[in-house]
Chain A
Amino acid sequence: MKRLISLLLTAVVLVTFCACAGNFAKIDLQEAVTIPDNGLIEKDIIEQIKTQNAIATFVGESNGIPYEWTIFGSDITQPKDLNLLISVEEAEQEANITFAQQEAFGFPVLLSVHLNALWDTQSATAYLGEQPVASVSLTGTDATILNLGLEETVEKFVVRPDVEPEKAVIPDVTKPEPEESSQQQPEKQPEQTKQQVAAPVDDYLSDVKESNDRVYSDGKTEDDRVYSDGKDTEKDQYLTDPVPEGKPMTVEPENQVIDKRKTYTCTFSIECSTILNNLEDLDPDKLEMVPSNGTILAKTEVEFYEGESVYDVLQRVCRENSIHMEASWTPIYNSSYVEGIHNLYEFDCGSLSGWMYRVDGWYPNYGCSRYQLKDGERVEWRYTCDLGNDVGGRNLF
């Protein structure tokens, strides 16, 4: 009898233990899961997310800053232990994020960090040192939420808002300045102009300057453009393939000097005739945006200042002609990216559609903020429905 009782007791304890263990290993994926103190999310749980094709949320807090991870079961390839602990330090217009996870996640995960401050910008970039490594999507109305899509991880990211670098501008002194500014600093103007003239020279141009092939704009010597010798074989720091031989080298926006004393002209046009051949792929709501002949802006002669980029002139042309244009500064390419013109956006006419620009018949393989215009050039903005193949361009996306 004693044996029977002890057997029964053992069985009951075992059953209870198994039931508990089985249930503890599984979590309720419909609820947000709090990240444990050691940050470790075990492989079994990742496996569960994958098996259930669930969308799991893990929440934590660092220095009073809440954060959450979103993991999609469909993204998980190889389940593994993950450490989701992070440390966040918020500074003015900057957030430092340090990860406990040391190795790559192995599949895409989304990290959302709820900052205390509201950033006055639409996008941001994560930097490793000074090198941009990932775009950050910003949301939130009262305070900014940083959303980082991650797959690889590094020890520490710095996230900063995307702000287009300021360009040095040499004013045209022959034109009267607004009274207020001339009254405030009348005697400082010559000095200020001098400082602006001595703006930093871009890395690409400095070498050329030594060989006297290029003299940068100082308002005194003749400006000349640098062309590629075709010898570069590797991408530059902004992920740009080598510029083909004989084509203009990039001029980084932060190094541009706009001289308002010198004006030139170029021709500008904007058209989307390729859409007319692909109407079946067009978002029906966008049909009314497509002109019957595909021309949004017919070939027009426009003035521009020395040192301005294709993007600078596009902005002005669209503003002066009341044409809608939306672009976003993209640090990873060190250029503005034109998303939509005349309310026609990328992907509006299929997954391979978007805007491209061509100068004198060549589609530059770098962003329009890095192309410094020269007198008499012909700029065409064209909508492609096939990664450029339908407008005579290579695959430049």
Chain B
Amino acid sequence: MRNISAKNKKRIVAAIICTLLLVLAIAAAVLLTDKGGSFGAPTLTIETPQKIDLSQTEEVTLDMNISHLGEALYPAASMSIRFDPSKLEFLGLEEGNLFVLDQAGNEFGRILPEWSVNPQQSNKNGCINIMYLDMTGGKHSFNQNLLAEEDNVVLRLNFRLRGSVRPGDVLDLVLEDAVFAASDESQSLAMTTNTLRAKNGKIVVGG
């Protein structure tokens, strides 16, 4: 009887150790395969496109991605992007794939947000000011649940290369300011408060 109970104890200890190791292994695998998405701060990125060949390309489109959002509803967003207007002509925006809520009655759908931008003014002062404002009191807000698993393109920036661009040129696109404003201000994401990180992009012209 004594022997049996000692055996049982050993078995139980072994089982616990195995279970612990398994849990550790699974946790490690999950942590390491995660692309940092859900553990880092929200990051707004201007994606650097592939190198431009001047003889082939005149227009360039750059994706603006966001890694993830917080838990809140974000009914407004804005961003300012500086560029060199002597080398690039800003043509306008193209739709991304980041939706906002479409709350009609009790139904929840999703629609693409309508961003406001003035290309003419942007080309004058070399700064693209983009804004989204939900005028319905929060029915059309950005929300974490509407993010895709990867490739969350907020919007796309469309440029034409000016004649002054030469092979070997590098054209920076710098996020000067960006905000995702939440209904509860304390949950807003902003570059100025370091709650929103920014990663700038560049257009590299092949030499």
Q: Which residues of A contact B (CB under 8 A)?
A: 1, 5, 8-9, 12-13, 15-16, 19-20, 23-24, 28, 30-32, 55, 57, 70, 72, 74-75, 108, 110, 112, 135, 137, 139-141, 145, 147, 149, 283, 286, 326, 339-340, 343-348, 350-351
Contacts and interface: CB of A to CB of B under 8 A. Distances in A.
Interface SS of chain A: mixed
Nearest to A112: B170
B163 A340 contact: yes
6 contacts: A1-B11, A8-B18, A24-B32, A31-B40, A57-B48, A74-B51
A20 B17 CA distance: 20
A95 B173 CA distance: 23
Interface stretch (B21-29, B99-107, B113-121, B138-146): B21-29
Nearest to B29: A19
Contacts of A19: 25, 28-29, 32
A321 to B, nearest CB: 20
Contacts of A149: 168, 207
A103 B36 CA distance: 34
A68 B25 CA distance: 35
A5 B48 contact: no
A75 B21 CA distance: 43
B164 A347 contact: no
Contacts of B9: none
A30 B66 CA distance: 11
B88 to A, nearest CB: 12
Nearest to A14: B25
B35 A72 contact: no
B35 to A, nearest CB: 5
Contacts of B58: 283
A55 B40 CA distance: 20
Interface in B51-89: 51, 54-55, 58, 82, 84
Given A31-B36, A344-B163, A5 B18 contact: yes
A118 to B, nearest CB: 14
B28 A13 contact: no
B50 A72 contact: yes
Given A137-B170, A141-B82, A326-B164, A16 B21 contact: yes
A8 B22 CA distance: 10
B124 interface: no
A75 B164 contact: no
A110 B25 contact: no
B14 to A, nearest CB: 4
Contact of A13 (B11, B21, B164, B199): B21
B163 A343 contact: yes
B17 A9 contact: yes
Interface string B154-193: 0000000011101011111010000000000000000000
Closest 9 CB pairs of A and B: A345-B163, A351-B55, A23-B32, A147-B170, A16-B25, A5-B14, A12-B21, A139-B172, A137-B170
Nearest to B7: A1
Contacts of A55: 47-50
B33 interface: yes
Given A55-B47, A137-B169, 13 more contacts: A5-B14, A8-B14, A12-B18, A12-B21, A16-B28, A19-B25, A20-B28, A55-B48, A140-B172, A283-B58, A345-B162, A350-B55, A351-B54
